[in-house]
């Protein structure tokens, strides 16, 4: 962990520059985001592909659900897990479709209507779900629906939200991005298995077999990505990202989180001028080799910081959701390879 104080004239110069730059961009960004949300609310998603042999769960919009367990999840990542464990005995829909960020996505009226008919609702918890989804979990479920939060049971880590300014304090904030550690994902898979078994006892053996097979795959991929991260030169194992999403890579694989453009767990937050100035200072001091830019998150600000610090940008980081047709196993493997290639 890095703990620093920045009080020199060089730092003050950058703070002045960044303050003017940040204020202009943040105003523009807020305007663009408001337009995007308005469009998203009126547009019904095309849904998720179900042709992958590991993900047999079907889509409730296209199938007669009689006799099947109807399940809603809050993210496309959870949906992938439920489809693996539940297979042909479940119908699964994510409130956040493939390719959409669960921090900011606005579910449609049609999605909310279907949510009210769900038998089981599975979320990450730990404040991952944004202000558009969290209220639905409180007020839009049927009386008999079972609600499960995966995150609190996965031994979540606390996040130091002040690390990049040199001040430390946890504020009892837990990092919800546990899925970047496959060993914690194993805990979530067992929770999903138990939840499906409780709701559908006749499928007990079926769910157990599916979960056991997937847990073996998780064990194998954990070994693979551990080897990938450990092959990064130790002097280069420093991460600068768009927002605080990679804490489990520090906790599990020994990478060091230097800072982020948005020093917060959610992508719907925004950086202050002071945040950006602190980040510039720490990048220059540590000589971090790269900034990993997440898709659609403060891209203009990130690009400007990279220019000011003469730091390369690595594009394509995406850990909050799956793209259409992508699996969780593919996503964490791709993430490890992206980081390895950016830091080697």
pLDDT tens per residue, range 119-128 = 999 999 999 9
Do the Cβ atoms of 58 and 47 come closer than 8 Å? no
Banded pLDDT at 31 (limits 50, 70, 90) = very low
Q: Which domains does the chain have, with CATH numbers?
A: 9-19+224-343 (3.40.50.1980), 69-156+172-221 (3.40.50.1980)
pLDDT of amino acid 295 = 86
pLDDT of amino acid 266 = 86
| C-alpha distances in Å from residue 171, one per residue of 1, 133, 137, 160, 168 | 17, 23, 25, 8, 10
SS (H, E, C) the chain: CCCCCCCCHHHHHHHHHHHHHHHHHHHHHHHHHHHHHHHHHHCCCCCCCCCCCCCCCECCCCCCCCCCEEEEECCHHHHHHHHHHHHHHEEEEECCCCCCCCCCCCCCHHHHHHHCCCCEEEECCCCCCCCCCHHHHHHCCCCCCEEEECHHHCCCCECCCCHHHCCCCCCCCECCCHHHCHHHHHHHHHHHHHHHHHHCHHHHHHHHHHHHHHHHHHHHHHHHHHHHHHCCCHHHCEEEEEECCCHHHHHHHCCEEEEEEECCCCCCCCCCHHHHHHHHHHHHHHCCCEEEEECCCCHHHHHHHHHHHCCEEEEEECCCCCCCCCCHHHHHHHHHHHHHHHHC
Instruction: Flag whether pLDDT at 246 surpasses 90.
Output: yes
Q: Name 158's bridge partners.
A: 174
Instruction: Flag whether pLDDT at 104 surpasses 50.
Output: yes
54-96 per-position pLDDT tens digit: 455 555 554 556 789 999 999 999 999 999 999 999 999 999 9
Distance, CA of 33 to CA of 104 (rounded, Å): 10
pLDDT of amino acid 163 = 57
Distance, CA of 292 to CA of 221 (rounded, Å): 22
Mean pLDDT score across all residues of the chain: 84
130-155 per-position pLDDT tens digit: 899 999 999 999 999 999 999 999 99
Distance, CA of 268 to CA of 317 (rounded, Å): 17
Distance, CA of 125 to CA of 152 (rounded, Å): 7
Residue 146: Cβ-neighbour burial (10 angstroms; 0-12, 13-18, 19+): middle
Burial 207-233, CB ≥16 within 10 A → b, else e: beebbeebbeebeebbeebeebbeebe
pLDDT of amino acid 1 = 41
Q: Name 92's bridge partners.
A: 71
Do the Cβ atoms of 302 and 261 come closer than 8 Å? yes
Instruction: Flag whether pLDDT at 22 surpasses 80.
Output: no
pLDDT of amino acid 208 = 99
CA angle 218, 191, 317 (to 5 degrees): 50
Q: Averaged over 297-319, what is the pLDDT? A: 96
Contacts of 221 (CB under 8 A, 6+ apart): 182, 329, 332, 333
Banded pLDDT at 35 (limits 50, 70, 90) = very low
pLDDT of amino acid 270 = 85
277-302 per-position pLDDT tens digit: 999 999 999 999 999 999 889 999 99
Tokens encoding 75 = 């993210």
Q: Name 93's bridge partners.
A: 72
Contacts of 45 (CB under 8 A, 6+ apart): 97, 100, 108, 111
Place of tokens 């199938």: 63
Instruction: Flag whether pLDDT at 9 surpasses 80.
Output: no
Place of tokens 């929770």: 191
Q: Averaged over 25-43, what is the pLDDT? A: 37
Place of tokens 């920045």: 6
Banded pLDDT at 159 (limits 50, 70, 90) = confident
């Amino acid at each position: 962990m890095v703990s620093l104080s920045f009080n020199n004239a060089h730092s003050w110069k950058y703070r002045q520059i960044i303050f003017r730059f940040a204020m202009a961009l943040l105003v523009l960004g807020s305007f663009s985001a408001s337009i995007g949300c308005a469009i998203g609310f009126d547009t019904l998603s095309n849904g998720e592909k179900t042709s992958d042999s590991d993900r047999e769960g079907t889509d409730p919009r296209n199938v007669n659900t009689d006799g099947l367990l109807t399940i809603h999840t809050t993210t496309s990542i959870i949906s992938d897990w439920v489809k693996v464990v539940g297979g042909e005995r479940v119908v699964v829909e994510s409130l956040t479709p493939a390719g959409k960020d669960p921090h900011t996505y606005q579910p449609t009226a049609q999605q909310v209507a279907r949510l009210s008919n769900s038998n089981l609702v599975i979320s990450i918890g730990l404040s991952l779900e944004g202000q558009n989804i969290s209220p639905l979990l409180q007020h839009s479920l049927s009386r008999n629906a079972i609600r499960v939060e995966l995150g609190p049971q996965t031994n979540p880590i606390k996040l130091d939200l002040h690390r990049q300014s040199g001040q430390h304090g946890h504020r009892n904030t837990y990092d919800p991005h546990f899925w970047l550690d496959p060993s914690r994902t194993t805990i979530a898979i067992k929770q999903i298995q138990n939840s499906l078994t409780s709701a559908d006892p006749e499928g007990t053996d079926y769910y157990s077999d599916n979960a056991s097979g997937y847990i073996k795959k998780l064990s194998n991929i954990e070994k693979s990505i551990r080897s990938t991260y450990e092959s990064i030169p130790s002097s280069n194992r420093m991460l600068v990202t768009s927002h605080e999403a990679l804490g489990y890579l520090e906790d599990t694989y020994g990478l060091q989180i230097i800072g982020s453009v948005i020093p917060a767990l959610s992508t719907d937050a925004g950086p202050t001028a002071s945040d950006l100035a602190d980040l510039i200072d720490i990048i220059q001091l540590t000589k971090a080799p790269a900034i990993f830019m997440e898709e659609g998150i403060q891209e203009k600000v990130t690009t400007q910081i990279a220019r000011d610090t003469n730091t390369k940008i690595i594009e394509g980081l995406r850990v909050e959701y799956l793209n259409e047709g992508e699996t969780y196993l593919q996503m964490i493997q791709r993430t490890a390879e992206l980081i390895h290639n950016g830091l080697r």
